[in-house]
Structure 1
Amino acid sequence: MRAATALGLLAGAAADAVFADPRRGHPVALFGRAAAALERRLYADSKARGAAHAALCAGGAALLGAAAQALTRDRPWARAAVTAAATWAVLGGTSLGREGAYLAAALERKDIAAARARLPHLCGRDPGRLDEPELARATVESVAENTSDAVVAPLVWGAIAGVPGLLGYRAINTLDAMVGHRSPRYANFGWAAARLDDAANLLPARLTAALAVLAAPVAGGSPRRALAVLRRDGHRHPSPNAGRCEAAFAGALGVRLGGANDYGGRIEHRPHLGDGERPGAADIRRAVRLARVVGLAATALAALAAARPRLARATRPA
């Protein structure tokens, strides 16, 4: 069955490359609506209520994956098909690259209004006052972070735990986007979702950073410089995971990331990562190219780990 899981991961990644995300009826969107409905019933300004919400949502998704895996226990082709479908549903690499390319094209033609209107597809920052370099910075940072969240991490958890890992991880990451941010409403209720997402991304974020360092030449960068920036700046970000990805991309691209981020009037000051100028439209295109190579490498590694029992066991948390 390990070979079936590996084949499913490869087929799902290929489906994402060809078809990207479905425009209607996306399983992640359906999960989001279910999680929001449960939130309306459970919400209280309480960490305990938030933990219950996170456990029910993420646990339910993982149990659904476990049921699908149990039903295909003795049918390798069915297991491969179920794994492929789940992988396609949870990956977002192709859509991420397309969003980055759209932002780059808008900035190249100096259409700041179009870029501002599109940025919310990538991140939650208020784009209303962002100039071209800040729009480019937000895009590069989002591409870097989401290369881990939407590509590498699902593949890692698919290699470790199969379909339950794929669905469970995507549920955790979606919950973090929904309730894990720092706001008066979610400071307590979203605490468990945010911490769970941090834990789930510890390994994938560091793998993403390592692959970005190795792939730096495809973006015109140097692995040595990318590694130096990663080691110097990766830990300075308030997120234990996003900083590693962003620092590695900053080093590979030779740009400076970080600064003040406006989340609907809530200003967060992020430390500078990397050296050089703020990024521009051309740097977005280089970031997208780097993200694609990182995704391809992660796909190959995940399939190899899933197919080889020793590698699969070695990747399991102690």
Structure 2
Amino acid sequence: MNHELPDVLVGFRKGRETRGQIASIIEKVREFQKNIYFCFIDYAKAFDCVDHNKLWKILKEMVIPVHLTCLLRNLYAGQEATVNTEHGTMDWFQIGKGVRQVCILSPCLFNFYAEDIMRNVGLDEEQAGIKIAMRNINNLRYADDTTLMAESKEELRSLLMKVKEKSEKIGLKLNIQKTKIVTSGPITSWQIDGETMETVRDFIFLSSKITADGDYSHEIKRCLLLGRKAMANLDSILNSRDTILPTKVRLVKALVFPVVMYGCESWTTEKAEHRRIDAFELWYWRRLLRVLWTAGRSNQSILKEISPEYSLDGLMKLKLQSFGHLM
């Protein structure tokens, strides 16, 4: 079934990730000194608005095997719900919309539903977008998080209005208040159907900060701050004398490291960022050992006592793994 989905759709597909794609595009745009305009679309209750009858029609048009479509239809057939209130229970009613929560099939079904929108818009034939290596890229998608991109405000507005129109035809409505424009060009206000769409220099997308200028220093500072908060949440355990040191170290590696290193594969790091990460690591190991900076102990002695996997080594391993995957 994956052969029906394009490369720009990466949500819930093994070996693909959106943040790295966006980072690569920003890097290339900066290299050629072009402006870039991103629109991060937010759909209102996207997974709850999938119309079942339209979904089966879309699967048929995409030549999904009939027996699989029949299995899915049987899975969703005859669904009913009711509402309990303080005044009693309402009459039961049929459910004709929405994919199931916590079902492993739901993301896949939504991918097909969203792909139908883009095919009807005709984004593959659109000239608007970012030109890289003889290819035009104007959208990237992670499930219901759709990102449109272009080199000018006018091109992006045209793409957005087309996607909005086709989305509404199958029951998906844009949440204008949560839809954001990120640009390296002049910041101007956007009006869509009488509502103002916010234009910003950076945006938190899939839990990572995206900046139009590709500067990751702010994202690294943000991740280190989140790491401090994660460390603070463990205070009761880390300060307990009933918990042995190896257990505390494993907890930090499992619950603090991932917070700090999330999305690091796409970071562009310089010496200043390396020093900042070094300082953060030594801060939490000293905090774990209850060793003050005024105690006169060297950093080497702290690391020797903890014997951790060095965080910068972990950063480089993740970056190399990501690079190897791309190659």
TM bucket normalised to smaller: under 0.3
Indicate the structure with greater strand content.
2
Higher RCO (Cα < 8 Å, 6 or more apart): 1
Indicate the structure with greater helix content.
1
Higher Cα Rg, which structure: 2
What TM-score, normalized to structure 2?
Answer: 0.27
